[in-house]
Amino acid sequence: MPVISNTGVKTTTEGSVEIAKEARSAVIMDAATGKVLYSKDAAEELPMASITKIMTMLLTMEAIDEGRLKWTDQIKTSEHAASMGGSQIFLEPGETMSVTDMLKGIAIASANDACVAMAEHLDGSEEAFVTRMNKRAKELGMNHTHFSNCNGLPAQSHYSSAHDIAIMSRALLVHPEITRFTSVYSDYLRKNTDRPLWLVNTNKLVRFYDGVDGLKTGFTQEAKYCLSATAKKEGFRVIAVVMGEPRPKVRNAEVTGMLNWAFSHYTSKLLYPKGHVVAKAKVIKGVKDNVAAITAEPVGFVAERGNKSTYKTEITLNPVKAPVLKGVQVGEMKVFVNGDMVSRVPLLARDEVKKTNVFQGFGKTIKKIVTFGKAE
């Protein structure tokens, strides 16, 4: 998912506002556009602990979307996965559990063992999965991140930044099904068996802050207390990230303050959802003369409350030569607020368009000539 630039609202930085005072770094981001509303040492590379699991959940959700994984698939636990310490759901070697329950364990209980089991199932080994985690991070523009494992247990060269974590969180929220897990405060695994396990969400804000429905906490002695939280009010979704907080109560209080500040100072206007048809691009030598152009990401902007904003959109389309692959970029949409460009979103081909063969091309040529003649 591309990072969308947005310059319509000035980013607030440390010193200009009294929030996240005890965090080593912090970011507030608009989930729809990627606009950073507040930042404090946002590019500093720091240990991220279990916030790592956001990427593990992202790759899992993408595998489901791509059809490589089903919710009902049974995941078998290896001895390596079962050996993970820290937060876990106490998987035993050889035990199987559905993707749904594995994800429940990761999202709610921060289960290290479930992360490794999923990684091994998807890529054959944790090492191969971690390679893909790092590749995906680069694709997302996470330039201050490196993963050494899939669960956030202490390891060398395992770090991220508050801004990168916000980018990663935004990518995960593209998959709305994830909040079905991250918003749950408590639940059971292995219910009605001789080994029931009660899960309690490590993110207490899902219970105590109206609108919070995710995403992930983290703690190690090195990383201290971290959190990537998201909340939605009146259609405006915000991501708040803190790293290096001294205590869980301080972490929760500062994130609460960040969310309150964002919702009281800003509002968001969604113009088009992801995948919305906004135009048709011309296709050269295709079986169809045009292809629907859809938005690659949600299109919108953030505005300061109390300030009147006028906006307009501008679409640029590029003729494409067949064959056209589904998802190829065919143009872009720019959004202007009060005369300033605040975002640009790629426009993609909604469908595949095949190239004409010799006979189809001849027929289309004849048709154009006849039509032109009638017009004369």
Pairing of strands 320-321, 299-304: unpaired
Lowest mean pLDDT among 85-89, 306-310, 343-347, 366-370: 366-370
In the set 35, 40, 53, 104, the catalytic residue is 53
Q: Is 53 annotated in the active site? A: yes
pLDDT of residue 306: 84
In the set 25, 39, 50, 161, the catalytic residue is 50
CB 181 within 8 A of CB 213: no
pLDDT of residue 66: 95
pLDDT of residue 206: 97
Q: What is the DSSP letter of 146?
A: B
Q: Confidence class of residue 70 from pLDDT cuts 50, 70 and 90?
A: very high
- The structure's pTM equals 0.84
For residue 172, the cross-strand partners are: none
pLDDT of residue 8: 41
Which strands, in side-by-side order, build the sheet including 25-30? Answer: 12-13, 36-40, 25-30, 236-245, 224-233, 212-220
In the set 110, 161, 169, 343, the catalytic residue is 110
Q: What is the DSSP letter of 338?
A: T
Q: Is 50 annotated in the active site? A: yes
Q: How far apart are CA 166 and CA 157, in angstroms?
A: 20
* Element housing 75 (H / E): strand 74-76
pLDDT of residue 238: 97
Q: How high does pLDDT run on average in the chain?
A: 90
Query: Would you tell me how many other CB atoms lie within 10 Å of the CB of residue 210?
Result: 8
pLDDT of residue 358: 57
Question: Is residue 226 classed as helix, strand or coil in its secondary structure?
Answer: strand
Is residue 14 scored above 60 in pLDDT?
Answer: no
Predicted confidence (pLDDT) per residue in 287-301, tens digit: 999 999 999 988 989
Predicted confidence (pLDDT) per residue in 260-282, tens digit: 999 999 998 889 988 999 999 99
Is residue 27 scored above 90 in pLDDT?
Answer: yes
Q: Confidence class of residue 315 from pLDDT cuts 50, 70 and 90?
A: very high
Q: Give the mean pLDDT of 341-347.
A: 91
Q: How far apart are CA 71 and CA 67, in angstroms?
A: 10
Q: What is the DSSP letter of 370?
A: H
Predicted confidence (pLDDT) per residue in 137-166, tens digit: 999 999 999 999 999 999 999 999 999 999
Is residue 2 scored above 70 in pLDDT?
Answer: no
Closest CA to 103 of 170, 41, 56: 56
